[in-house]
Structure 1
Amino acid sequence: MSPRTATRTLLAGGLAALVAAATLTIAGSAQAATLLADDFTDDAGPVLRQGGTSANARAVAGDPGWTDYTVAVRVKPTAFNGSDRFVAVLARVASTTSYYYLALRSSDRVELKRLVGGSSTTLASASLPVDTGTWYTLRLTVAGTTLTGQVDGGPTLTATDTRYVSGGVGVATFNASANVDDVVVSTIDPVPTPTGPPTTGPPTSPPPVAGDRPNGFASVDALGQAGTTGGTGGPVVTATNTTDFLSYIDTIGPLVIQVRGTIQISSKKGVRPNKTIVGLGDDAEITGGGLDFYRSYNVIVRNIHFTDAEDDAINVGQESHHIWIDHNTFSGAVDGSIDVVRGADYVTISWNHFDHADKSMLISHSDGAGSTDTGKLKVSIHHNFFDHSRQRHPRVRFAEPVHVYNNYFLDNELYGVASTENAGVLVEGNYFENVPFPIFSASGYADSGPGRAVQRANIFVDSGVPETTGSVVEPRTYYPYQLDPAADVPALVRAGAGAGMLG
């Protein structure tokens, strides 16, 4: 999502009361999981703005009876008047001088704090680079006596405190100017434990049905997110035309978006957090363009035919996390079918059909991306059908671990898996058939330097010798999984991968 032009000003040195009926819209019973949402497009302008740095400002809203919830907000500091100033999100606001808050400080720290009568106490803190002119997403969760704060993909802060049990929400600045956008307050729903594949009886991994949770990295609790649940708890809507579809994916708050028929789009369209996009039947299609994730999170994309994208069909980028791409079919993209780049993390790509695609999957976009990608880009790739697709299954830089398991590689003209630029890739339980170069690692690929790759329990039929080197972090340190026998993979994947195959 592009940063928006700032137009609205908070009252410096005082309180700007945002009335729910006017500027912060409280959802009705059809959106019970969303208590409040505002993108500030309804009246004076598209962001809330504190214009000066010479005083403090607060804006509050909501119900004093709210107890357990998460408040999320995008903030962009524009100037700090000093070395230890901050912008913050507030929760359980008892008064304008008493609440919990998560503060993003100019001293390159994030702090979880309690304010009582204007006197603050730090409950938890961590180092975090803070730059003016950069958008950050702040999330503060209050659940019973437990407080959790998180900024983008940064550290998660937790603390226990009994001072406040209920109250509304807000934003604040301390000798700082900032733009504020996309305020969302959501109730806290229990998250089902992700279900792994059965452990007995061949075959061990029947195709998942529509209500399943992901396996692999998208199931991991991290970065303030309890696995990947998409739009669970939000309204269910159906898109049958381009206008409605683009409106739905740009909606704030959880939403289950059913796609019926063909949606024609151009370029790549941004998807906001907490969405499930799922095709109805076996012919739901997005054609001409693709989906773009920019600092988004908790999104599920299933059962869609992606055809003839003029660039990438799906781009997971800019620190997006907890994305599950499952049971889709990709064909005809001018560039990649799926890219996972620019610090994205905790992604699962499962049961997809790459039908004669050219560039199937890229993990890290360039040899110069080490500063943003090292330590991130954790991706699980399982039970996909790389069907006469030419290359990038995937091509990886910097990421570790990337877990490539139980996929069917058939007639891949250039290569199967390429690990470069010191990436760490585990390739196991796959079936390679007529693949001249199943795995590159020690020699690098093209202009990219060597990476690391471990292979085990794979089957190679009429294929070249895999090139492996080094060691790789075990995915089991993050999540449990059960391998299917590689010999069963072609039948399993042919029967279950792609759009139209969900039970």
Structure 2
Amino acid sequence: MNRVKRLLLLVLVGVFALSVIQLPLGTDVQAEQNGGIVLLEDDFNAYSQSPVGSTWSNGTNNGSWVLEAHGSQMLKQAATGSTYVAARGDTTWTDYEVSAKVRLTGTPTTGSARVGVAARYTDKNNYYTLLIRRSQTKDEVLLTKRVSNSESTLKTVTVSSTINTSKLYTLRLVVTGTSLEGYVDGQLLVSATDTALTQGSIALYVNNGSGYAGKSTLFDDVIVKGQGSTDPNPNDPGPVGPEEPQYPTDRLVPVSNSSQLSAAITGAKPGDLIELNDGNYTFPSISKLHGTAEKPIRIKAKNTGLAVVTGSTVYIKESSHLVLDGLTFKNTGSYSVRMTNNNYIRLTASKFNNPPHTGSSTWVMIDGPLSSHNRVDHSVFENKKDTGKFIVIGGDNPGFTGISRYDRIDHNTFRNTLPRQVNESEPIRIGESKLSLYDSFTLVEHNVFERTDSDPEIISVKSGKNVIRYNTFKESLGTVSLRHGNGTLVYGNRFLGNLRTGLDQTGKFLGTGGIRVYGDDHKIFNNYFEGLTGTTWDAPITITNGDADYSSSTDLTKHYLPRNVVIAHNTLINNVHNIELGYTNNNNYTKPPQQITFANNVVVGSENPLVEFKTEDSALKAGFIWQGNIMFPTGTATLGITATASQIKVVDPLLVKWNGEYRPASNSPALNAATGSYDFVYTEDSQRASAYHVGAHEVPAP
């Protein structure tokens, strides 16, 4: 509903802006192996004659596709003067990635030569392509689309290094929904959003001018992988998390001062371990420095925490596969660390306890439309004494043409911020309002947030398709806020308030909160809420009205009404308030939520309505679906809603405390009592069995 109008808003924020960026090409940066089901794989070694015309179709019915040996057998196209396409696969494929190794064997004397891979190919007149283009004057990487035989460029970058005509480049085109990403040798170089084509097979693409006569294009190792889950991080490792990678060391480079550090970084190669002896260091600006997936470049404290970063911002840009390990950050500036348009940068096992900055500061900024797959982990962020954020996932501002994607924030501790500020002091922010229609796919997991009180939003989500899972929020005066964007998953988190309360700067009451929701298509499940005191904006589950709808507003700063949200298998116990619905913000939010499902939740409380409608608006109440919930008001509490037993069963769920949390006892009516089908729901260590329990726990107390 209203998807087309929503997507049209992207045009208003300049998604299809044409950019010319000087970037390197040809560095052997190896991408991490992506998950997904292999749909097609072809290295051309199994054929005795050209497969084009049999296994592969000649989509343009021209040219001459032949096999040629270059160490291994490759597919070759030597014709010039036209476009040549060889296609293969299923035209019903939607979201997937296609990769291939490609080579241009020469430079055209006039005009240009283009080679690439195509996705969502339905015929010779309709497809997306990722291309490298060589000419006498410049070399480029392009993301293009052809619709109804009309070609247009979605994004182009001019590369600063010459295309090597002896080298095979790995091109990878990823299509997910309306998102397109183009990688060359593991580096994300071009990305865009487009709504024109939704499905189709893959193809190999050649377009060579007559000035390319006597030369050829080569293809090898074609792989197509499907995306088998709506979870952007489907390989869920569960609460224990994945094993940490072990890196080899080819060369140890010890340093003892800032000059030596700068020289070591300038001369760094894949596999280097730059080891910092105890002391203070200022960092040089790091630009276009590349390790590999197997052999990253590591900058590591010899003794964890005793190599101290001072001076100004550590700035890393257009680099990949670097690791900063075991450092203590006490530098000053608007940013402690800023990472722009990087891929696979890891900041690990470090400590941030920076001195206050005049004005606000962000300790870690990850930004740039070409940024992806960066990680901040196993670090401590504490005692922030100025306004601003601990970590921001951003894009390009003011261009707003893209956002960093597939970043991971995990196994960190965030604690002891300033008291509540007016705004703009969230511990973590993912996106911003003008980037909110982009999907970021950020993963925030296994972190601890303790007394992070500086902003109403502990985690402020302002982009799409993120995952917030397995985090613990202790006595924090705020909420996880799905403020902008769509399709985020929030699951397996623990919100523990210990009945803590506080006051803001004006003396107004503050409480510990849970999750607040705006936007479409979110899923909130398997979360545990205990001892929370928040209300209105900060109740354990807060679904307010909105002041905008994607069908009628282009102002991305507004509060878009919640719609098509599933809230399932959560446990709420001993909170002052529990579920609050339809707050209007003094009648400024007039658009009630739509299609909000509450299913198989357990709620137990001794005061206030367990379900509280902030207004008695019939349209508000009509927007909610209730199924299979168990609620038990005690003391002065009431149910707060009229419901059938199939919607809400009013019965004691017989919860007992075990391993620090209230779980169903062996005789609980919650056992095997859930209704409906919610196959996306995970539990402690796996997906739930076919007969599953009501509430957040599939493993009951013994």
Give the TM-score normalised by structure 1.
Answer: 0.52
For residue 441 of structure 2, give the secondary structure of its aligned residue in structure 1. Answer: strand
2:610 aligned to 422, 433, 438, which one? 438
How far does residue 440 in structure 1 lie from its aligned partner after superposition?
A: 3.7
Match of 2:460 in 1: 315
Q: Which residue in 2 is equivalent to 1:202?
A: none
> Which deviations, in whole Å up to 9, do the C-alpha atoms of 1:175-219 show, x marking residues without a partner?
xxxxxxxxxxxx9984674599xxxxxxxx99544249xxxxxxx
How has the CA–CA distance of structure 1 residues 162 and 287 changed in structure 2, closer, same or farther, with 3 Å as cutoff?
Answer: same
> What does residue 581 of structure 2 align with?
418
Q: For 1:260 and 1:159, how far apart are their aligned partners in 2?
A: 43
The alpha-carbon deviation at position 363 of structure 1 amounts to 1.1
Deviation, 1:484, is: 6.9
Q: Residue 430 of structure 2 is aligned with which of 286, 290, 293?
A: 293
| C-alpha contact (below 8 Å) 1:240/1:263 kept by paired residues | no
Q: Who is 1:139 aligned against?
A: 180
Listed as ranges, the matches of 1:304-453 within 5 Å are 304-307=447-450, 308-311=452-455, 312-317=457-462, 320-334=463-477, 336-342=478-484, 344-356=485-497, 358-364=512-518, 373=519, 376=520, 378-389=521-532, 390-391=534-535, 392-396=539-543, 397=545, 398-418=561-581, 421-434=592-605, 436-441=608-613, 443=615, 450=621, 452-453=623-624
1:350 shift after superposition: 0.9
Distance 1:394 1:462 in 2: 17
Aligned partner (choices 241, 249, 255) of residue 374 of structure 2: 255
Structure 1 pair 150–262 and aligned structure 2 pair: CA distance change class (3 A): closer
Q: Structure 2: how far apart are the matches of 1:469 and 1:441?
A: 14
**Closer, same or farther in 2 for the Cα pair 1:122/1:326, shift >3 Å?**
same
Contact 2:492 2:527 (C-alpha < 8 Å) held by counterparts:
yes
Deviation at 1:403, TM superposition (A): 1.4
**Distance across 2 between alignment mates of 1:249 and 1:27:** 24
Pair 292,453 (structure 1): closer, same or farther in 2 beyond 3 Å: same
Distance 1:467 1:193 in 2: 39
In structure 2, C-alpha distance between the alignment counterparts of 1:309 and 1:101, rounded to whole Å: 45
Q: Measure, in 2, the Cα distance between the counterparts of 1:120 and 1:274.
A: 32
Determine the structure 2 residue equivalent to 1:91. 130
Larger relative contact order (CA 8 Å, sep ≥ 6): 1
Distance 1:384 1:450 in 2: 24
The structural deviation recorded for 1:428 is 1.6
Q: How far apart in 2 are the matches of 1:394 and 1:330?
A: 14
Partners of 1:67 and 1:314 lie apart in 2 by 40
Kindly provide the CA deviation profile for residues 22-53 of structure 1, in whole angstroms up to 9, marking residues without a partner as x.
x414585565359xxxxxxxxxxxxxxxxxxx
Query: CA 1:442–1:414 in structure 2 vs 1: closer, same or farther (change >3 Å)?
Result: closer
Given that 1:90 and 1:102 are in contact with CA atoms closer than 8 Å, whether structure 2 keeps it comes out as yes
Q: Is the 8 A contact 1:64 1:93 kept in 2?
A: no
CA distance in structure 2 between the aligned counterparts of 1:437 and 1:238, rounded to whole angstroms? 44
Q: Deviations over 1:365-403 (max 9, x none)?
A: xxxxxxxx4xx2x21111111111134332224322221
For structure 1, list consecutive stretches of 5 or more residues without a partner in the other structure.
1-9, 35-61, 71-88, 104-111, 125-136, 144-148, 168-186, 197-204, 213-232, 365-372, 496-503
Indicate conservation of the 8 Å contact 2:572/2:578, yes or no: no
Structure 2 Cα separation of the partners of residues 26 and 493 of structure 1:
55
User: For residues 140 and 517 of structure 2, what CA distance do their matches in structure 1 show?
Assistant: 42
**Does residue 641 of structure 2 align to residue 467 of structure 1?**
yes
Structure 1 residues 469, 63: closer, same or farther in 2, change over 3 A? farther
Aligned-partner Cα distance in 2 for 1:386–1:453: 21
Task: Write the distance in 2 (CA, Å) between the matches of 1:99 and 1:255.
Answer: 25
Q: Provide the C-alpha distance between the structure 2 equivalents of 1:258 and 1:166, rounded to a whole number of angstroms.
A: 45
- Alignment of structure 1 residues 210-249 onto 2, 5 Å: 210-211=241-242, 234=344, 236-242=346-352, 246-247=363-364, 249=366
Q: CA deviation at 1:488?
A: 6.6
Contact 2:147 2:196 in 1 (8 A): no
Change (3 A) 1:154 1:394: farther
Shift in Å, 1:257: 2.4
Specify the code of the residue in structure 2 equivalent to 1:276. Answer: R
Once the two structures are TM-superposed, the CA of residue 240 in structure 1 deviates from its matched residue by 0.9
For residue 41 of structure 1, what is the aligned residue in structure 2? none
CA distance 1:113–1:69, shift in 2 (3 Å) = closer
Q: Which residue of 1 aligns with 2:146?
A: 113
* 8 Å CA contact 1:459, 1:486 repeated in 2: no
Contact (CA 8 Å) 1:302, 1:328: kept in 2 or not?
yes
Kept after mapping to 2: 8 A contact 1:412/1:434: yes
Q: Give yes or no for contact 1:324–1:347 (8 Å, CA) kept in 2.
A: yes
Most deviating of 244-253 and 389-398? 244-253
Q: Please report the RMSD computed on the Cα atoms of aligned residues, expressed in angstroms.
A: 5.4
Distance 2:562 2:240 in 1: 30
Q: How many residues align?
A: 338
For 1:321 and 1:188, the matched residues in 2 are separated by 27
| Structure 1 CA distance for aligned equivalents of residues 628 and 696 of structure 2 | 12
Between the aligned partners of 1:379 and 1:407, the Cα distance in structure 2 is 14
1:273-326: CA deviation from partner (whole Å, max 9, x where unpaired): 21111116xxx3355241112135111001111232411211111xx1111111
Structure 2 letter corresponding to 1:91: L
- Distance (Å, rounded) in 2 between the aligned partners of 1:68 and 1:209: 39
Q: Distance in 2 between matches of 1:466 and 1:206?
A: 38
Extract unaligned runs of 5+ from structure 2: 1-17, 34-100, 105-114, 120-127, 155-177, 185-189, 209-221, 244-342, 355-361, 394-403, 418-425, 498-510, 546-560, 584-591, 648-674, 682-686
Q: TM-score, normalised by structure 2?
A: 0.39
Residue in 2 aligned with 1:277? 409
Distance in 2 between the 1:98 and 1:260 partners? 41
Question: 1:164 maps to which residue?
Answer: 205
